[in-house]
Chains A and B, each alone.
Chain A
Amino acid sequence: MEKVYARTKTFQKEMVSGFCPGCMHGTVFKLIGEVMEELGIVDKTTCVLGVGCCGLAMEYITYDNTTSPHGRACAVATGIKRSTPEAVVYTYQGDGDLASIGLAETMSAANRGENITVIFVNNGIYGMTGGQMAPTTLVGMKATTAPQGRDPKEHGYPMHMCEILNQLTAPYYLERTSCNNPANVNKTKAAIKKAFRNQLDGKGFSMVEIVTSCPTNWGLDPIEALDFLENNMLKEFPLGVVRDKSKEGA
């Protein structure tokens, strides 16, 4: 019988995922693993994990891995890449990590045009700590620290990181995708591949923002969470390429 699907060598053989049902971290790490295998870079890649649910992956992946202090992933990646330019370095960060506590590190690495790949997983809530309000929480969406829902008068509005970074000159590639259906999963994989390829070609800062669901902290079952993502998250965070310098002024 022909083998048409296999776990990538980027995962530990005996791992059992601790991600919740309906969580998309597993999908995203799988896509990253496929891209790394297809580009033949598994043996020279380092993953810089942010702090949050994504940190569980430290036990799952097989290639070089470090954990940064909360929010500092882009600074840690800067140090790795600058001191060892032949390494392929990517950060994997949630919305609290990248857009709240790590906003300065994210913006500054993007502004310097660091030749790194940033995978930004945006589910609009703090997962690991139990559903607190994130910088990307939707207006009206309930969080354990915004029990009446996000109120713009008190909490402001969701932050759009691709668009914010698009104000800077240096970033090379910024795209927002999702993993809510097979077509979008494929688009996400293509975006991740492009973001890694840009680094291999020395193009500079690339970020893929992936809008995902968090059924556990949204208080929804996985199917309802997909509907919420489609009907609410994607209205606030429209998908598409925000910046692609490879397409500019050819």
Chain B
Amino acid sequence: MARVFMKGCEAIAEAAVRSGCRFFAGYPITPQNEIPEYLARRLPEVGGSFVQGESEVASINMVYGAAQTGTRAMTSSSSCGISLMSEGVSFMASARIPMVYVNVQRGGPGIGAIQPAQQDYAQATRASGNGGFRMMVFAPATVQEAVDMTYAAFDYAQRDRNPVLILADGVLGTIMEPVTLPETRSPEDVAQLKAQCRPWALVGHDPEKEARSFIAPGNWDTKKQQQKCIDNAALYESWKADVQVEELYLDDAEVVITAYGVSGRIARSAVQNLRREGLKVGLIRPKTVSPFPYESYEKLDFNRVKAILDVEMSIPAQMVTDVELAVKGRCAIETCLHSGGEIMGRAEIMDAVRKLCR
């Protein structure tokens, strides 16, 4: 298939439509406005619906409603807007409703900065709302990955009946790159995907013939609510089989850089340059940050690896908590950090590695 030159946000939106997304509600916030703008044009062409919500709170609840009918539904926002969606996301995780949403991260906390950052890692992977639920969280580093992950995210969401988050950032949202777009699902396929949700979806039931659909984000019965939590925990555990990670030069690496998303992309470039200098540097780049690729660190020979360099556009570092869980104190962990909309510099990463190699 021919490659096309697209902006990250628009490519994500097109991938969603191709995957069968037929409902989007969202509220303006920089730097993700091209997603709703694109879908306002695109969704009506395929018989879908676009609503500009009066707020992020309303938008996520519109998505909650649409998704309950089995319609593939999505929203997007950035950082502080994502916080406002946490109530609806938590309800969806509790009622087990499939949904895909995109966080094109900007600086934080608070209104932060409109420029790219990675300040929402802990929120994305640990607490995207109340109640201790988890989601699969994909962290694309290129527009192509963003497209492929968005396309697949709808399938994971439907498989698990759970929200899935695309954890992007302002660089990826606004950069233009050539991409190969996935196949467009036919109207028949999209209808079939919706029909597959019939056993639980709000599609209307005659009570004299069949049981109703009852979407329950909670329970009066404490035993039932505890069982819901047990079932959810089993689902989260099953994601170990879905880990995605890029590993480079781990066979002989003495220093391993670890980074996700745009930082991972810049780190990858730093690794290639440092290799040309003859330094034994490797890379672990989580492509899913939930589930986190703990196993990749387990494979390291800690007799050889002197240190791990955690690179993030977040201050304080956040992914480092997962890295610490993986490394279990077996080597030093250093950080190389930017934030506030200041993009990570490749030269800085290279300097940090050189120091560790000395």
Q: Which of A61, A67, A88 has the most CB of B within 10 A?
A: A67
CA separation between A104 and B71, bound complex, in Å?
A: 25
Q: Do B214 and A42 touch across chains, with their CB atoms under 8 A apart? A: no
- Decide yes or no whether A69 CB sits under 8 A from chain B: yes
**Which residue of chain A lies nearest to B211 when distances are taken between CB atoms in the complex?**
A62
- Residues A105 and B65 in contact in the complex (CB < 8 Å), given A10-B207, A87-B204: no
- Decide yes or no whether B345 CB sits under 8 A from chain A: no
Q: Pick the contact of A76 from B55, B64, B214 — CB < 8 Å?
A: B64
Interface residues on B, range: 35 or more
Query: Which residues of A in the span 35-84 have a Cβ within 8 Å of any Cβ on B?
Result: 42-46, 48, 58-59, 61-69, 72, 75-84
Q: Which of B55, B59, B64, B67 has the most CB of A within 10 A?
A: B64
Q: Do A65 and B207 touch across chains, with their CB atoms under 8 A apart? A: no
In the complex, chain A residues whose CB is within 8 Å of the CB of B54: 104-105, 107-108
- Decide yes or no whether B39 CB sits under 8 A from chain A: no
Q: Pick the contact of A64 from B22, B203, B216 — CB < 8 Å?
A: B203
Query: Which residues of B in the span 210-242 have a Cβ within 8 Å of any Cβ on A?
Result: 212-218, 220
In the complex, chain A residues whose CB is within 8 Å of the CB of B87: 69, 72
Q: Which of B22, B207, B218 has the most CB of A within 10 A?
A: B207
In the complex, chain B residues whose CB is within 8 Å of the CB of A65: 212-215
- Residues A79 and B62 in contact in the complex (CB < 8 Å), given A66-B215, A67-B217: yes
CB distance from B319 to the nearest CB of A (A): 30
In the complex, chain A residues whose CB is within 8 Å of the CB of B66: 79-80, 82-83
CB distance from A111 to the nearest CB of B (A): 8
- Residues A75 and B207 in contact in the complex (CB < 8 Å), given A62-B212, A65-B214, A66-B202: no
Q: Do A83 and B215 touch across chains, with their CB atoms under 8 A apart? A: no
Interface positions of B (Cβ within 8 A of A):
22-23, 25, 49, 51, 53-55, 57-59, 61-69, 71, 73, 87-88, 91, 95, 202-209, 212-218, 220
Interface positions of A (Cβ within 8 A of B):
9-10, 42-46, 48, 58-59, 61-69, 72, 75-84, 87-88, 104-105, 107-108, 112
